[in-house]
Structure 1
Amino acid sequence: MSDVLLVGGGVVGLLSAWTLGREGLRVTLVERGETGREASWAGGGIVSPLYPWRYGRAVANLAHWSQDFYPALGQQLLEDTGVDPEVHVTGLYWLDLDDQAEALAWARANARPLREVDISAVHDAVPALGAGFRKAVHMPGVANVRNPRLARSLREALRRMPNVEVREGCEVGGFVHEQGAIRGVRCAAGELRAEATVLAAGAWSGELLASLGLELPVAPVKGQMILYKCAADFLSSMVLAKGRYAIPRRDGHILVGSTLEHAGFDKTPTDEALASLRASAEELLPALAGQAPVGHWAGLRPGSPEGIPFIGQVPGHEGLWLNTGHYRNGLVLAPASCRLLADLMLKREPIIEAQPYAPEGRLVAAPLA
């Protein structure tokens, strides 16, 4: 019997297992497919909310802690596993913002290093940028992480931990109830039991929680991305305009994203999105005109009200915990979310105020199917 059973093998689930495993707990993680192959694989990996000033304090507190933690996390995983998550500090330019004054006011109020820069200085720093932009703000310390490699690194780290077991291809069909508490899950191979069960299944979390008569307001939001291959020095910084961004990887790959679509659990890439993303890519980086993307895919974000994740124990269901609903910011918020979860489970002083993420008062009763 495990101390903790984690349901969901995305970055939030993997990092939860890593964090709790390093505390000495016996951890089992179950994933219905392969670990790290859903939203965690599909995202861009910017270690910042796209527009941080448009979120409330709850998201900002998690983001700031995680941003400070990521460089050390990347280095630790590289040393432990030999797999480099590639935490790549490039900075980020926001172009032609409608709410630039609000962004700068937010930066002053939160002591964040965001400042206005002359557009000519942006072109000097980012020669590949298109000519049609008028104004910009810049935050120099923003990193991106190569999310598929982060997931691989975490999976390898867990493989090397004797107190952690990972079961892929293990689809959960329901929960194990015992004397009014949740004591594990049921899957095709039988029951898996644990003192505590953590639901970290992203967009699929609501389906599992519905079996308990609870409605979790987390729904799939489709996002499509495209990928180009350029010279390693083609793009020196992340750039963002009109809701679309370009992210440089160290080896010259450039990600461009993303769409926001409410299409249920459909992950099919579409020609319409491809055309729209290519147009955005060519507006940001005109040298990409006529160059075919080398990849096009879609993933499902776990959309939640105001983008605030659910982290904590489920009221009325002893032994059941949530770490889910991170919407567009799963990779950004994961380190702080997983540390906060561990703090709460181990009954120690949390890194930040935990109440905004508590499931209590944010779940509603729903009729059982």
Structure 2
Amino acid sequence: MAKQQQVVIVGGGVIGLLTAYNLAREGRAVMLLERAGLGQESSWAGGGIVSPLYPWRYSPAVTALAHWSQDFYPQLAQRLFGATGVDPEVHTTGLYWLDLDDEADALAWAAREGRPLSKVDVSQAHDAVPALGGGYSRAIYMADVANVRNPRLVKSLKAALLALPDVTIHEHCEVSGFVLNNNRVVGVNTATGSVFADQVVLAAGAWSGQLLSTLGMALPVEPVKGQMILYKCASDFLSSMVLAKGRYAIPRRDGHILIGSTLEHEGFDKTPTETALASLKASAVELIPALADAEVVGHWAGLRPGSPEGIPYIGEVPGFQGLWLNCGHYRNGLVLAPASCQLFADLLLGRAPIIDPAPYAPAGRLNAG
């Protein structure tokens, strides 16, 4: 594995995979190293709503990435499906928010940003989603919100990458640190030896902070546990995504329904708990009473890469030439991936960036450890 690579990417979640795909399509030789299996952490565990849960509560930095990604997702899915035959299933269902405390803020944000979010009578929500529980008095709706079937997106990205020339993927290959030449990062250390590269990209999700600390840099990315449950219903059972009291229901095309999610600061522990299972079931039945009679077919936990304000780190690390970050997407990795990875490719390849890169620049946002 000692061959010189143009780009080594540390982390095989959706961010690492799409970063690799964008660079490989531009002719870069790419090696991607993943400590476990591709996309088995946050990318696999999330719900896949292609919108922040409460988009109006985020800074313009997150909004800019989210808008670009939402508009780009359908063509990305089409391109991947065409190249691989694996459909990431971008499923446009719309989303109803019920009984929001900050409804006025949401509507003001939509007017300001030109997004198709509007107040609707709660009876309209019940007509559109007959399975919805009673007891809600207010609703707002955004028509064009989609969800992506994240495990299929990972599968599709892997297949698309392996079909490109000069791409190598090593799963179950943990990176323990970086190879330095003066202040330049020239590679990474793994259990099977060092891998040298012109550029190293850290896209290791919740593990990114730990890795960067080996260089004495403090990156405020920490694991935030989230638990989800899954039901299987008829394919037409739930026609739209619904969200109330911080919990959501997401329908897949085949009748699977995801209910999420908890927010827990438990370090790197991702054991599913009975407490969360009971809490998620209660939320499920409140949102959709008929789920009281449905069987839970899955319950899991994942670790989100928590970051201040959920603003990712995208760009070169100051003081360490050759080391780049694309990490810290917190709850919105799947939402922000297309824009983050396009912006990242623009910066690494020296092209005009799709949006202003300043808010995501690591400079000024990292501290010496």
Gaps of at least 5 residues in structure 1 are none
Give, as a single letter, the amino acid of the residue that structure 2 aligns with 1:288.
Answer: L
State whether residues 209 and 220 of structure 2, in contact with CA within 8 Å, keep that contact through their aligned partners in structure 1. yes
Q: How big is the shift at 1:191?
A: 1.0
Counting matched residue pairs gives: 366
DSSP 3-state at the match of 1:327: coil
* Most deviating of 45-54 and 178-187: 178-187
Which residue pairs with 1:247 in the alignment? 250
The yes-or-no answer on 1:70 pairing with 2:73 is yes
The yes-or-no answer on 1:302 pairing with 2:305 is yes
Give, as a single letter, the amino acid of the residue that structure 1 aligns with 2:222.
Answer: A
Which residue pairs with 1:364 in the alignment? 367
Q: Distance in 2 between matches of 1:212 and 1:335?
A: 29
1:250-289 maps to which residues of 2 (within 5 A)?
250-289=253-292
Q: How big is the shift at 1:179?
A: 3.4
Q: How big is the shift at 1:205?
A: 0.3
Which residue pairs with 1:322 in the alignment? 325
State whether residues 261 and 280 of structure 2, in contact with CA within 8 Å, keep that contact through their aligned partners in structure 1. yes
Which residue pairs with 2:241 in the alignment? 238
CA RMSD of aligned residues (A): 0.6
Q: TM-score, normalised by structure 2?
A: 0.99
- Percent identity reads 69
The yes-or-no answer on 1:135 pairing with 2:130 is no
Q: Distance in 2 between matches of 1:307 and 1:32?
A: 24
The yes-or-no answer on 1:344 pairing with 2:347 is yes
Q: Distance in 1 between matches of 2:334 and 2:317?
A: 23
1:181-196 maps to which residues of 2 (within 5 A)?
181-196=184-199
Which residue pairs with 2:20 in the alignment? 17
Q: Distance in 2 between matches of 1:14 and 1:290?
A: 39
Q: Pick one of 64, 76, 83 that aligns with 1:61.
A: 64
DSSP 3-state at the match of 1:41: helix
Q: How big is the shift at 1:162?
A: 1.4
State whether residues 233 and 294 of structure 2, in contact with CA within 8 Å, keep that contact through their aligned partners in structure 1. no
DSSP 3-state at the match of 2:296: coil
Give, as a single letter, the amino acid of the residue that structure 1 aligns with 2:63.
Answer: A
Q: How big is the shift at 1:180?
A: 2.3
Q: TM-score, normalised by structure 1?
A: 0.99
The yes-or-no answer on 1:4 pairing with 2:7 is yes
Q: How big is the shift at 1:159?
A: 1.1
State whether residues 122 and 136 of structure 2, in contact with CA within 8 Å, keep that contact through their aligned partners in structure 1. yes
Which residue pairs with 2:103 in the alignment? 100
DSSP 3-state at the match of 2:21: helix
DSSP 3-state at the match of 2:179: strand
Give, as a single letter, the amino acid of the residue that structure 2 aligns with 1:312.
Answer: G
Q: How big is the shift at 1:178?
A: 1.6
Q: How big is the shift at 1:3?
A: 1.2
Q: How big is the shift at 1:303?
A: 0.3
Q: Distance in 1 between matches of 2:226 and 2:60?
A: 25
Q: Distance in 2 between matches of 1:351 and 1:105?
A: 26
State whether residues 121 and 138 of structure 2, in contact with CA within 8 Å, keep that contact through their aligned partners in structure 1. yes
Q: Distance in 2 between matches of 1:184 and 1:127?
A: 56
TM-superposition CA deviations, 1:102-141 (whole Å, max 9, x none) = 0000000000000000000111100000011101000000
Runs of 4+ more than 2 Å apart: none
Gaps of at least 5 residues in structure 2 are none
